[in-house]
A and B are shown apart, each in its own frame.
Chain A
Amino acid sequence: MTDTVLTETMAIPPPEPPRPPASGPGDWIRRNLFRSPVDGVVTVISGVIAGYVLVRLVRYVFVTGRWDIVRVNLKLFMVGRYPDDQLWRIALAVSVIAFGGGLIGGFAARRRILTGRDEPSSAPWWRTRLDLVGRLWPLIVGIAVLLALSGTIGPWLVVAGMVVAAVAGRLLGARLPLRSTAWLVVGVVAVGVGLVWFLTRPSGWDDWGGLMLNASLAAAAITLCFPIGVLLALGRSAGRNAGSRFNAVLSAIVLGVLPIVLYIAMTGSVTIASVGTLLIVAISALLALTGWHLGRRSSLPLVRAISVAYIELFRGVPLYVLLLLSYLALGFFIPTWLEAPGLVVRAIVALTLFTAAYVAEIVRGGLQSLPKGQTEAAEALGMQPIGITATIVLPQALRNVIPGLVGQFISLFKDTTLVAAAMTFLDVLQVGTVVTAQGDFRGQQLTAETLTFVMFLFWVGCITMSRESQRLERRLGVGTR
């Protein structure tokens, strides 16, 4: 008896269990909308404004917007003036691309499971389908809008073909042998080249237009700029651990003298205190300073200097000016016996050179993020420098910068609109401004409708890419290992 009394008096009363966080619509509203009087005022004001904008937007899309102009010109928006009787080529190409996407996706998923990086999913089948819809909803909405706007059966067939091809690719990809990565890369390149050949068969490049032109310019420039960018990044980071004052002086001289020599060669003489001279001297001084700074830490000053000069030059000037330059002035650098390259080629060259500089900086970030121990361990194993770079350093560095690279590619896709503004293409933006001058639509101020549609198309493309990149980032665990 006493025992129990004793324990009862001596026992410290257990602390009250924490109140479960109140959950319910009322509590959610209190926490997110009316936390304090000020918050309430903010809620009311921003709610009224947001509601007004939303109502206007919905009315614009469904009631006041005059979307006939988009409906009528849908083909122009999507593929420009591609010959009507050759459109099956585009349909086939799109299906092949969808098939390839499915194939790679299926292969990658199986590979992750087989190498133990991923659990086989145990969720019911409808759950995975639902996840896919949640992942790709902007793309699905985009396709739905296109189908709603189309008056013919063609687009429906194309979309059906794409879906079938993607599913088939996915199923087949899961059955590929585990060691076919290299073959897949070769296949992708071969199919890419083949598709370009296949699509340019009817009339060459110059009839291309609409969103197809934007997408293919972006795809071509992405593919080409990548190796250049990686090389530049390696050049810029070459031997960054050794260095001396000699290197610094050397790279300062190389970088600083180059513009002056070029300038003298260009003008034949130097007139003191003309604007041009002052400008050149300023550039030289800045470059020499940069060269000194960087050469101090480098053992390959010339490689480094050229890489730095290239990167800084292309990152310091606007893409629009580069495109104008390659449109108006590239012909001067081509000998007379050589035919001047076509406009699409010029555009791809300018986009590639420009993006390569940005890719180089991103990849350099990846190279710097890599612990030095990786290289040292490989050296200790007696590997050759090139082997170390190719098999140890680059794979890890590139994996770390995937988000940055995708971001750069998104901005490249958006920048393809500049090409048509600088040159004479009929890309999707130009279609948007040109069709408002068509006979039926002239003088009705329909630019708002057409350009809204153009914005929507770009939004669908870019947001899909960026969401996929975020997903990939989470998967690879960037920043968590």
Chain B
Amino acid sequence: MVAAVVWLWDNFQANSQRLNLPTNYDYLEQPAGFPIPSSSFRPTQTVQDALVEGLLNTLRLAITGIVLATLLGVLIGVARLSGNFILRSAARAYVEFVRNVPLLVLVVLIYIAVVLSAFPAPNDSWELGPLAVLNVRGASIFWFEGGNAAFLVALAFAAVAAWLVARWRRSVADRTGRPARSGLFAGVAAVIVLAVAWVVLGLGATSPELDGRRVAGGITMTPEYFAALAALVIYTASHVAEIVRGSIQAVPTGQSEAANAVALSGFQRMWYVVLPQAMRIGVPPIGNQYLNLMKNSSLAAVISFPELTKVTQLAVANRSPAVPSFALLLGIYLVVSLVISLLVNLANRRLAIVER
């Protein structure tokens, strides 16, 4: 096996020398020579900067996709267990259809047949009040105004406040036996802190407005981003839904019945008894789906969304050596995957039963 690796390596060196191609990573410092659409990247910047831009786009797509796919997937998974026949059947039809169709077909279909063909021209865009404007040039939605860093700081403050308040409420409940209502209190605290931080940090809000043929304000998603995101969310949500349904069904019925017997309400039964146990079963496979979503975001390259793979392809087309470029690309994906699986493992460890 070592011999095989050495042999391949030797071939690579010989071929590169014959074609006079570099085998090192000096090309990263060279000017890229290609533009990246809808970003501030200029062709005179280095290949390295282009790759960073691509990585950011990949992460943007993956993280948004993970959040939305989880929300949609949980909704559909719960709907599959609903007592309502129509809701149940609709959720089932969705899952059985989407799960058995290739993601790439969805990506191409949504991009060409929905976004580029069915969305209206800019001058008669669909407007959803102040929330969103949709047309063939992309989708603009209501968003905050101000620096990204300030926004993240405000969010972090709110999260810390919520966590502290929830802890305080739980300790009060432990001492006095009164209901904790930690979710309610934490939510209110988070909203208050967020509002204060919003004002202090000088953040604003902007909503998209149609101004002739242009959309002013809000944050605009390019058609490629919108199509890739929609396809990834639709596809991954169907898998998440199946996992959610499976893990809820895997909780023994005795647990639900016992909860009924001690007179918990339907919500309490779900929230305190069934869901915590279902999550223990469901977190590892859902983490796998997050990994898949991140890797599948490379399919956005097919519709020319400038994420990492597309940027690497562009770089290779512009005189970057192929083998080192792709080796670097594989390395970056590997690191991102390992980080995600590390996070999932941490979450899993917190949820797992502590065995003695």
From A32, A276, A328, B84 is in contact (CB under 8 Å) with: A32
Stretch at the interface among A42-50, A125-133, A181-189: A42-50
Given contacts A274-B25, A454-B105, contact A279 B332 (CB under 8 A): yes
From A276, A320, A332, A459, B323 is in contact (CB under 8 Å) with: A332
Q: Are A418 and B104 in contact (CB under 8 A)?
A: yes
| Chain B residues, CB < 8 A from A317 | 295, 330, 333-334, 337
Q: Are B86 and A46 in contact (CB under 8 A)?
A: yes
Q: Report B174 CB to chain A, min CB distance, Å.
A: 34
From A265, A328, A336, A421, B104 is in contact (CB under 8 Å) with: A421
| Chain B residues, CB < 8 A from A32 | 83-85
Bound complex: CA A410 to CA B1 (Å) = 31
Given contacts A46-B86, A268-B24, contact A332 B16 (CB under 8 A): yes
Closest-by-CB residue of B relative to A53 is B90
For the complex, is B258 an interface residue (Cβ under 8 Å from A)? no
Closest-by-CB residue of A relative to B102 is A414
Given contacts A46-B86, A328-B326, A335-B11, contact A283 B335 (CB under 8 A): yes
Stretch at the interface among A109-117, A156-164, A445-453: A445-453
Closest-by-CB residue of A relative to B302 is A421
How would residues 260 to 277 of chain A score, 1 for a CB under 8 Å from any chain B CB and 0 otherwise? Answer: 000001111000001110
How would residues 70 to 110 of chain B score, 1 for a CB under 8 Å from any chain A CB and 0 otherwise? Answer: 00000000000001111101100000110111111110110
Consensus secondary structure, chain B interface: helix
For the complex, is B8 an interface residue (Cβ under 8 Å from A)? yes
Q: Are B97 and A459 in contact (CB under 8 A)?
A: yes
For the complex, is B67 an interface residue (Cβ under 8 Å from A)? no
Bound complex: CA A74 to CA B245 (Å) = 39
Given contacts A321-B329, A429-B104, contact A282 B335 (CB under 8 A): yes
Q: Are B313 and A324 in contact (CB under 8 A)?
A: yes
Bound complex: CA A312 to CA B328 (Å) = 16
| Chain B residues, CB < 8 A from A46 | 84, 86-87, 90
From B90, B112, B333, A318 is in contact (CB under 8 Å) with: B333
Q: Are B102 and A415 in contact (CB under 8 A)?
A: yes
How would residues 41 to 69 of chain A score, 1 for a CB under 8 Å from any chain B CB and 0 otherwise? Answer: 01100110110000000000000000000
Q: Are B330 and A458 in contact (CB under 8 A)?
A: no
Interface size class of B (residues with CB under 8 A): 35 or more
How would residues 151 to 171 of chain A score, 1 for a CB under 8 Å from any chain B CB and 0 otherwise? Answer: 000000000000000000000
Closest-by-CB residue of B relative to A448 is B113
Q: Report B298 CB to chain A, min CB distance, Å.
A: 4
| Chain B residues, CB < 8 A from A231 | none
For the complex, is B350 an interface residue (Cβ under 8 Å from A)? no
Q: Are A429 and B105 in contact (CB under 8 A)?
A: yes
Bound complex: CA A50 to CA B91 (Å) = 10
| Chain A residues, CB < 8 A from B24 | 266-268
How would residues 404 to 442 of chain A score, 1 for a CB under 8 Å from any chain B CB and 0 otherwise? Answer: 000000100011011001000000010011000000000
For the complex, is B122 an interface residue (Cβ under 8 Å from A)? no
Q: Report B245 CB to chain A, min CB distance, Å.
A: 15
Q: Are B101 and A455 in contact (CB under 8 A)?
A: yes
Given contacts A417-B102, A455-B101, contact A315 B337 (CB under 8 A): yes
For the complex, is B191 an interface residue (Cβ under 8 Å from A)? no
Closest-by-CB residue of A relative to B339 is A286
From B12, B83, B108, B112, A333 is in contact (CB under 8 Å) with: B12
Instruction: Beyond the given A320-B309, A329-B323, A332-B323, please list 6 additional residue pairs across the A-B interface where CB-CB is below 8 A.
Output: A33-B84, A286-B335, A335-B11, A336-B14, A415-B102, A448-B117
19 intermolecular pairs with C-beta atoms under 8 Å apart: A266-B23, A275-B48, A279-B332, A286-B338, A306-B1, A313-B334, A316-B334, A317-B330, A317-B333, A332-B322, A417-B105, A418-B299, A421-B104, A432-B105, A445-B113, A447-B108, A447-B112, A447-B117, A455-B109
B residues contacting A by CB (< 8 A) are 1, 8-9, 11-12, 14-16, 18, 23-25, 28, 48, 83-87, 89-90, 96-97, 99-106, 108-109, 112-114, 117-118, 295-299, 301-302, 309, 313, 316, 322-324, 326-335, 337-338
